[in-house]
Amino acid sequence: MHDDISIPLPSLIHRIGREAVKRAQAIAVQKGCELKRVRRSRNWSITGQAIAIQSCCGELTAQSDTAEFAFLIKKIDSGLLQHADKLEPLGAKLIRLINQNPAITLGELMQQTQCTMSEARLARFEAEL
């Protein structure tokens, strides 16, 4: 959940233009992501935590001229679909798993979500309320 993910953006400058990429880079830095070229190729990638990349995509969507960012938004959205498990906060994920299977053990919760024993116990308590 805390691992950085990377979403490839092939031929980004050719598709949206250099000025749009510079604005997108500034937005990505504000949201805690990194939008950069892959080595010396024409391909780019956005790297960061899944939630930060999702908020960056939301900010790009909220911009007044979304037509220039349409390719970028589409690629980020499709890339985030592969990392849907990292978009949900740990507490909400634990409670969802407990509600789906009330007989799940604390050990199984810890194994599936890589959480601590205290986080699993707290989620069990909150799910029972």
pTM summary value: 0.71
- The tokens describing 33, both together, are 């992501």
Instruction: Give the pLDDT mean for 26-32.
Output: 95
Q: How confident is the model at residue 66 (pLDDT cuts 50, 70, 90)?
A: confident
> Per-residue pLDDT for 62 more than 60?
yes
E runs forming strands in the chain? 5-9, 34-37, 44-48
> Per-residue pLDDT for 2 more than 70?
no
> Per-residue pLDDT for 1 more than 60?
no
Inter-residue contact 60 to 24 (CB < 8 Å): yes
